Structure 1
């Protein structure tokens, strides 16, 4: 029997590994004192203070370094580097080709210590984003975009998996919302920052200054990631031993936890996640979101400038307010999703709002109406945040979630291959074809969200008839693996 009164959470994990499956479960059940709801909330707040600001800032920098190409275009990039014809569209396309091909590297968050993995990939993409300023031709810029995508694929898609190690599954939606809202924040302050930078006159072009000023902070924040990110609950130095035990307890509710095996993938479970049909509907939804949304940061400044009312510099600045609203909307809708323990209805609502916005952009000609419609169209991005938490909720084990996220990201990131090519210059000034395609995919996301919700409701009712409990307590992944038992759990729909 393990003496957990004297052992630390880390010691407890190592001692548990020496026991057989049944002895392990008995030791945990006999010695653990269940936390109160207030005790759980206190630990979650402590996790929030350490994790959320850092992942929010890092993701906002990732999106900024990815999407500032649209601002650089209006800052003279198109004139200094020959981007005639479809060359500009190819800069967006090559990024997403690379991003798709290397989605599998996101599993590095599970395979390696998180603080080392994160710091390394952040430093690499910050360096590449900065040296874009030194490019002198289209081929050089294409090369930078290709390798920038590899580094970003190793970071952003894996963060939702990483966050799922620390939070109860019914609370992870809000945390994913905070993380993903970093993209909206980046597009908001990125437009304002680009407006200010384009006013600078120096020995190098404004677009080069833009890449340098927006790329170097990423390199600096990689150092913060190395020293501040914990690898897992049992190694989190900012938690005391009781807080670690409480965190392990609430993370394990209705999902299984790798105790004593924070790093290392269970490849059988990874492939279970990939084969699960319920992994593929969120992937198709993510595809639809990305067709509609991924092209917007690259083209919103151009869309606004083509309204004919504002010059290019003002268009950069006016691209910020829609994303500012999107930031607050994402936070709100993800909090509501956690509160009501629902994902599908809120995902469908956000997609419908985005679809209506694109329909207005496809049909209206008045500047004020079209600008207002952009505020609606960008809300499709909230569906992305909800899909991230939904995927985590569907899969019980850490490695199976890794497989589910690979499907989500690989299928979903094919969307920008279409999305970045539906606003050709020949469609100016209204880009009606691109707006209509985006609207159709938004509405497809709404329909698929409803289908998946109905499927999960049906599965929950079936499990209720079979006696599967609504709440399942601690279930160590290693116990389930050694006993050959696949424990079923109710779904959040």
Structure 2
């Protein structure tokens, strides 16, 4: 663990506020940063991390959800998708995705820049070679390995971001990351519409897989060179900026400064066993039942309203996701500002539930299309849940355990979600709409329950005199000696 030393010029007030920080090498002085310094460091981290993870997750969701667009672009003319074969293509992806969720801990176990570059190239390669499939069996194999590759990447990014940001600021960053999915579904429909117009010897659905898969492979290169492994190893930060970043990030949670790589198995198991890990996981399950089916079936649902052609439906699937993108950013920013996760998670889920109910109870085109704008808002709840798990668990390895529970239980949702809109239920898909509405309302109810639980725990800590804020020295080596480990929850 590197020494934290006095750096930079001091103004009168800062000089009087020197803190002692205990490290393995001894006790050193540290000048608490000003708010301007903290803001400058956050901006530096944002500029390096957020654009890259946003684009990568956007490509990830594009490569997994373009199956619906490929279907409308003529895939079923070349590959037999009769019966439930199309639904099984979505199901096999999520089976592989679920059984591979434990790989998200690779972000903690290995150097993140290497892990990320490998994952990105792996899924980009598999996404591209889908274009070479000549049978349903071949496409099923591609979808399985795509699920494995994407499980290695996406579920671990929220854990990775929690290594760099204070817990009160991580919600917005998770929102930016996850909003890449909304934008992928938005421009994915527009891109599919454009590709469908291309006249070529290669079928439009094959071009779709190639044009959307190859850029992902290329993005493995910037991942290798630009993804920092940790605050201490971030070359774009000065020594003082690293100390400021560590000081901010270590408040009310622990930063493994002396153990940048490798999972602490006991803490990881504590995260898995903690009951507070399982309520967000059940919420995530409900979100995924509702949301996982939407990218696969929205183009089909719109086309079967009876008003729009199959090609026009591709383009009309984009606007609801643009609205969803704006909602995610707004709610996550407000969640950070007010330091509340549950109420905003419940709000987004309730709005989405109303959207599904409208679609389930009407038959005309206008209200059904409008309801899709509301239904996709369930994805905002996902962004808030990712931040909530980071706020519940104080250590990096415990967060790894919490995220493993979240992702493993939550990703079982798509197994149901990808099968609630069977072809025989069209064009209204009543059963799927009601199931999705019920799941959204379940998410809202569980969010309220968890919030009340955490409020109770915070009040209990008030009575017991647990410090409101635990500083850096309380969250690093001091934890190894059994000192204060409890921290206040963000509810």
The TM-score by the shorter chain falls in which range?
over 0.9
Name 2:13's counterpart in structure 1.
none
- Show the counterpart of 1:195: 193
2:203 corresponds to: 205
Provide the residue aligned with 2:397 in structure 1. Answer: 399
1:117 to 115, 118, 123: 115
Q: Give the counterpart of 1:348 among 343, 346, 349.
A: 346
Deviation, 1:201, is 1.1
1:256 aligns to what?
Answer: 254
- Shift of residue 484, structure 1, vs aligned partner: 3.4
Q: Equivalents in 1 of 2:277, 2:144: separation in Å?
A: 27
Query: What residue is the counterpart of 1:283 in the other structure?
Result: 281
Gap change, CA 1:2 and 1:352, over 3 Å in 2: closer
The correspondence for 1:373, drawn from 368, 371, 379, is 371
**Kept after mapping to 2: 8 A contact 1:270/1:402:** yes
Seen in structure 2, the aligned counterparts of structure 1 residues 336 and 7 have a Cα distance that, compared at 3 Å, is: closer
In structure 1, the partner of 2:131 is: 133
What is the match of residue 153 of structure 1? 151
* Aligned CA distance change for structure 1 residues 481 and 37 (closer, same or farther; 3 Å): closer
* TM-score between both structures, scaled by the size of structure 2: 0.95
Structure 1 length-normalised TM: 0.95
How far apart, in 2, do the equivalents of 1:397 and 1:476 lie? 12
User: 1:393, CA displacement in angstroms?
Assistant: 0.1
Equivalent-residue separation in structure 1 for 2:5 and 2:462 (angstroms): 37
2: CA distance, partners of 1:317 / 1:121: 30
Residues 139 and 480 (structure 1), Cα distance of their counterparts in 2 relative to 1, 3 Å cut: farther
Q: CA contact under 8 A between 2:3 and 2:23: conserved in structure 1?
A: no
Contact 1:103-1:157 at 8 Å conserved across structures: yes
Q: Distance in 1 between matches of 2:25 and 2:457?
A: 30
- The answer to whether the Cα contact below 8 Å between 1:3 and 1:31 also exists between their aligned partners in 2 is no
| Paired residues of 2:7 and 2:240 also in contact (CA < 8 A) | no
How far apart, CA to CA, are the structure 2 residues paired with 1:300 and 1:183? Answer: 15
Please state if 1:424 is matched with 2:422. yes
Residue aligning to 2:482: 484
Q: Secondary structure at the match of 2:415?
A: helix
| Alpha-carbon spacing, 1:154–1:77, altered in 2? closer, same or farther (3 Å) | same
Kept in 1, the 8 Å contact 2:270–2:398? The answer is yes
1:235-273: CA deviations, max 9, x gaps?
101101100000000000000110121110000000000
Following the alignment from structure 2 to structure 1, what is the Cα–Cα distance between the partners of residues 2 and 364? 72
Query: 1:31 is paired with a residue of what secondary structure?
Result: strand
1:300-335 per-position Cα deviation (integer Å, ceiling 9, x unaligned): 000000101111110010000000000000000000
Q: Counterparts of 2:89 and 2:3 in 1: how far apart (Å)?
A: 59
Which residue of structure 1 lines up, in the alignment, with residue 105 of structure 2?
A: 107
* Residue of structure 2 equivalent to 1:241: 239
- Matches of 2:67 and 2:475, distance apart in 1: 44
Q: For residues 178-214 of structure 1, what are the alpha-carbon distances to aligned partners after superposition, in whole Å with 9 as ceiling and x for unaligned?
A: 0000000000000000000011111111000000000
Distance change >3 Å, CA 181–CA 254, structure 1 → 2: same
Name the residue aligned to 1:411: 409
Residue 308 (structure 2) aligns with: 310
Q: Distance in 2 between matches of 1:312 and 1:219?
A: 30
Counterpart in 1 of 2:23? 24
Once the two structures are overlaid, the 10-residue window that deviates more, 478-487 or 126-135, is: 478-487
Aligned Cα RMSD in Å?
A: 1.7
Cα deviation for residue 470 of structure 1 reads 1.1
Tell me, in whole angstroms, the C-alpha distance in 2 between the residues paired with 1:176 and 1:366.
37
Find the aligned partners of 1:342 and 1:323 in 2 and give their Cα distance: 24
Q: Which runs of 5+ in 2 are unaligned?
A: 9-20
Q: After TM superposition, what 4+ stretches of structure 1 lie above 3 angstroms from structure 2?
A: 1-8, 25-28, 475-478
Shift of 1:366: 1.0
**What are structure 1's unaligned runs of at least 5 residues?**
9-21
Following superposition, the deviation at residue 483 of structure 1 comes to 1.4
CA contact (8 A) 1:395 1:404 kept: yes
Tell whether the 8 Å contact from 2:94 to 2:411 is kept in structure 1 after alignment: yes
Match of 1:222 in 2: 220
Partner residue, 1:69: 67
Could you tell me how far 1:26 is from its partner in structure 2? 9.2
Instruction: Tell me the distance in 1 between the aligned counterparts of 2:426 and 2:22.
Output: 69
State the partner residue of 2:140. Answer: 142
Which residue of the partner structure matches residue 17 of structure 2? none
- Report if the CA contact (8 A) 2:345-2:384 is conserved: yes
Contact 1:272–1:400 (Cα < 8 Å) also in 2: yes
Aligned partner of 2:335 in structure 1 is: 337
When residues 415 and 480 of structure 1 are mapped into structure 2, their CA distance, relative to the original with a 3 A threshold, is farther
Residues 1:422 and 1:4: Cα distance change in structure 2 (over 3 Å): closer
C-alpha distance in structure 1 between counterparts of 2:57 and 2:406, whole Å: 18
Q: Matched residues in 1 for 2:421 and 2:49: separation?
A: 37
